[in-house]
């Protein structure tokens, strides 16, 4: 087993150990929970013409919109500052002590007429000792009608601290899922320029959406965020969870089953939008649409497992941990859904734990991807720098320098003005070559054009009427890698026109379309047989086996720096055309 595997396994084991310790280790008791008692005895119920005894937490088979009343007698030791607490799910609540209403939920008109689940904290006073307490519950939903959680009795502040501390673990795990999602989005933003990550943004959005749902279902009291906000955030985030999940699958594995994933995405989006519009227009609300939501989430989750299996089969490595995590999520989802529809209660912890493990695992994978890509980029930069230096060396060959100096020497006597101009062009050519050894990855095309003109001016003086130059420059305000076009022009002159007795014409053209800038270099020289380069058609991307000066090097640099392409078409006796495409979104 290699060092990498051992380190990854060690990190995974440590994360699991840390999570277990964080969950099950003992915490400091800052409040006295021993004084908090569970009130489960002595309760009776009545609704319509039915009555009997009940031991909370328990659910009664009560029709929707039917008031059920739970009654008991308060302890005789009730003092000021005492209270009771219980959780109601989608129910209107009234608490009577004697004939006095001491608590009512909702106490005001809720946004959208929603009745969110809440913790009901009821203050008691010494005057309430030994009196009868009645809790009235009524729900517009048959699934939650007649249901009540455990009823606890103790000091009011102690009850608040108790509920907050008990729900803190579940809430904290839920929050961690969202934090991992934000980290993945941050990784995507930081590495977007270098194209290190692609699907991490979609995954991050999915995890943030799941975090909102999990936090809403964590049963943490609505202290910092309003009750209605928690309610709608929770249901809407679950409703659109399949949308974000399919978007992530499409972004990551479009090549595996892109069409089906895309169709499932639009189906999920349509169903989510219909349910949301129904809730806003007075139709079945988000709670009543819950079975549809759960069905869509279940279908999407099963489809996700299928895609992961196909991806694991295709890649055959590196997918084991992800596949295990997604299977655990599926098992936890099935268990919690069955438990919910049987008891209307959520298990709460298992889904959160599996999602957190899955999120942490993908964060680990993403960090490794970034690290490996950075190393690859470093190697690529060295290769590009080496290729640039090699291209420079190939561009300034001794015979070109000797021929140019000899031409200048002859012109000094015959035509001093031409000699002066040739010295200027030669010095410009050499200076631009030396400047291009620098660290700049991109330069303005106008600067490359200046280099081209300096070279062509020298060659036109040397070859006179044998060399004709036509320039059709329609656009030049874009960036190109240094020495990306000039060597192509030099190649056209040396290998195309100079081998032809009567010389010929070299045409340099630049233009743009919607997505790219195009530069074409065309000559009517000797041309060559494309089959000699392993090119089967007359127009193909240049093969790396070409013997022409630096063209394979140029092709590599254009592709890696700008994402562009270099294509060549040639025919013996007719000439050669080289087309270079620079993508606008890369330069």
Q: Is 56 a member of any domain?
A: yes
CATH code of 71's domain: 2.60.120
Give the C-alpha separation, 293 to 235, whole Å.
9
Q: Are 402 and 368 members of one domain?
A: no
Q: Are 143 and 181 members of one domain?
A: no
Domain boundary among 150, 172, 194: 150
Q: Are 439 and 483 members of one domain?
A: yes
Cβ contact 522:506 at 8 Å: yes
Q: Is 159 a member of any domain?
A: no
Q: Are 136 and 197 members of one domain?
A: no
H/E element, 97: strand 92-97
Provide the strand spans (E) within 454-499. Answer: 467-473, 479-480
Q: Are 340 and 448 members of one domain?
A: no
Q: Are 187 and 305 members of one domain?
A: yes
pLDDT computed for residue 543 by the predictor: 37
Q: Are 141 and 199 members of one domain?
A: no
pLDDT computed for residue 394 by the predictor: 54
Q: Are 303 and 413 members of one domain?
A: no
Q: Is 155 a member of any domain?
A: no
pLDDT computed for residue 533 by the predictor: 52
For 58-80, give the DSSP string: EE----TT--EEEEEE--TT--T
Q: Quote the tokens at residue 105.
A: 């939920």
Residues 191, 244, 295, CA angle at the centre, nearest 5°?
155
Averages of pLDDT over each 10 residues, the chain, 587 residues: 51 60 53 68 88 84 89 88 89 90 87 83 90 91 85 89 85 89 86 70 90 86 78 89 92 86 92 88 84 90 90 76 85 80 65 88 83 74 60 57 80 85 85 70 89 89 85 92 88 84 90 92 84 44 41 80 88 89 85
H/E element, 366: helix 349-395
pLDDT computed for residue 542 by the predictor: 38
Q: Is 448 a member of any domain?
A: yes
Residues 373, 378, 384, CA angle at the centre, nearest 5°?
120
Q: Is 13 a member of any domain?
A: no
pLDDT computed for residue 162 by the predictor: 87
Backbone torsion region of residue 282, taken as left when φ is above 0, otherwise alpha when ψ lies between -120 and 50, otherwise beta? left
CA neighbor of 480 nearest in space, from 549, 551, 554, 544: 554
Domain boundary among 322, 344, 375: 375
Q: Is 18 a member of any domain?
A: no
Q: Are 122 and 193 members of one domain?
A: no
Q: Are 216 and 334 members of one domain?
A: yes
Range of the domain at 454: 396-586
Q: Are 511 and 437 members of one domain?
A: yes
Q: Is 196 a member of any domain?
A: yes
- Give the pairing of strands 82-88 and 443-444: unpaired
CATH code of 420's domain: 3.30.565.10
H/E element, 132: strand 132-138
pLDDT computed for residue 436 by the predictor: 67
Burial class (CB in 10 A: 0-12, 13-18, 19+), 233: middle
Q: Are 458 and 543 members of one domain?
A: yes
pTM strictly above 0.75: no
Domain boundary among 123, 150, 177: 150
What total of structural domains would you count in the chain?
3
pLDDT computed for residue 540 by the predictor: 38
Q: Is 382 a member of any domain?
A: no
């Amino acid at each position: 087993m290699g060092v990498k595997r051992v380190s990854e396994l060690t990190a995974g084991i440590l994360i699991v150990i840390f999570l277990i310790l964080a969950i099950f280790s003992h915490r400091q008791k800052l409040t006295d929970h021993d004084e908090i008692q569970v009130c489960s005895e002595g309760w009776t119920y009545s609704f319509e013409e039915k009555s009997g005894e009940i031991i909370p937490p328990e659910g009664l088979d009560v029709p929707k919109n039917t008031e059920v009343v739970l009654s008991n007698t308060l302890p005789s030791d009730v003092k000021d500052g005492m209270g009771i607490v219980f959780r109601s799910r989608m129910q209107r609540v009234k608490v009577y002590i004697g004939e006095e209403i001491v608590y009512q939920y909702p106490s005001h008109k809720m946004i959208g007429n929603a009745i969110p689940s809440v913790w009901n904290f009821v203050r008691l006073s010494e005057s309430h000792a030994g009196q009868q307490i009645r809790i009235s519950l009524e729900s517009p939903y048959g699934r939650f009608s007649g249901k009540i959680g455990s009823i606890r009795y103790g000091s009011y502040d102690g009850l608040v601290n108790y509920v907050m501390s008990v729900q803190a673990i579940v809430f904290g795990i839920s929050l961690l899922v969202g934090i991992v999602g934000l980290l993945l989005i941050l990784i995507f933003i930081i590495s977007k320029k270098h194209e290190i990550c692609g699907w991490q943004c979609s995954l991050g959005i999915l995890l943030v959406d799941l975090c909102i749902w999990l936090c809403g279902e964590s049963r943490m009291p609505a202290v910092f965020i309003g009750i209605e906000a928690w309610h709608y955030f929770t249901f809407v985030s679950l409703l659109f969870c399949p949308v974000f999940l399919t978007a992530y699958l499409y972004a990551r594995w479009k090549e595996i089953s892109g069409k089906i994933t895309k169709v499932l995405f639009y189906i999920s989006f349509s169903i989510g939008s219909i349910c949301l519009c129904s809730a806003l227009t007075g139709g079945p609300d988000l709670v009543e649409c819950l079975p549809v939501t759960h069905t869509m989430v279940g279908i999407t989750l099963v489809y996700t497992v299928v895609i992961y299996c196909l991806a694991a089969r295709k890649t055959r490595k590196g997918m084991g941990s992800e596949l295990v995590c997604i299977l655990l999520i599926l098992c936890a989802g099935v268990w919690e859904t069955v438990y919910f529809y049987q008891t209307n209660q959520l298990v709460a912890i298992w889904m959160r734990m599996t999602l957190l493990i899955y999120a942490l695992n993908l964060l680990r994978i993403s960090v490794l991807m970034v690290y490996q890509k950075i190393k690859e980029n470093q190697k690529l930069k060295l290769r590009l720098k080496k290729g640039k230096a090699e291209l420079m060396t190939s561009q300034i060959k001794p015979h070109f320098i000797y021929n140019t100096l000899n031409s200048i020497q002859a012109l000094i006597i015959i035509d001093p003005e031409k000699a002066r101009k040739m010295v200027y062009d030669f010095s410009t050519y050499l200076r631009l070559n030396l400047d291009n050894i620098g660290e700049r990855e991109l330069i303005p095309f106008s600067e490359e054009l200046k280099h081209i003109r300096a070279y062509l001016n020298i060659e036109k003086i040397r070859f006179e009427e044998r060399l004709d130059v036509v320039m059709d420059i329609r656009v030049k305000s874009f960036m190109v890698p240094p020495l990306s076009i000039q060597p192509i022009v030099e190649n056209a002159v040396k290998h195309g026109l100079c081998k032809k007795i009567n010389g010929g014409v070299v045409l340099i053209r630049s233009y743009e379309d919607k997505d790219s800038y195009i530069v074409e270099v065309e000559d009517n020289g000797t041309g060559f047989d494309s089959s000699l380069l392993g090119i089967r058609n007359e127009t193909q991307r240049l093969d790396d086996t070409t013997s022409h000066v630096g063209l394979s090097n140029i092709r590599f640099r254009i592709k890696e720096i700008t994402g562009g392409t270099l294509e060549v078409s040639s025919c013996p006796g007719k000439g050669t055309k080289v087309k270079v495409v620079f993508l606008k979104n890369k330069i």
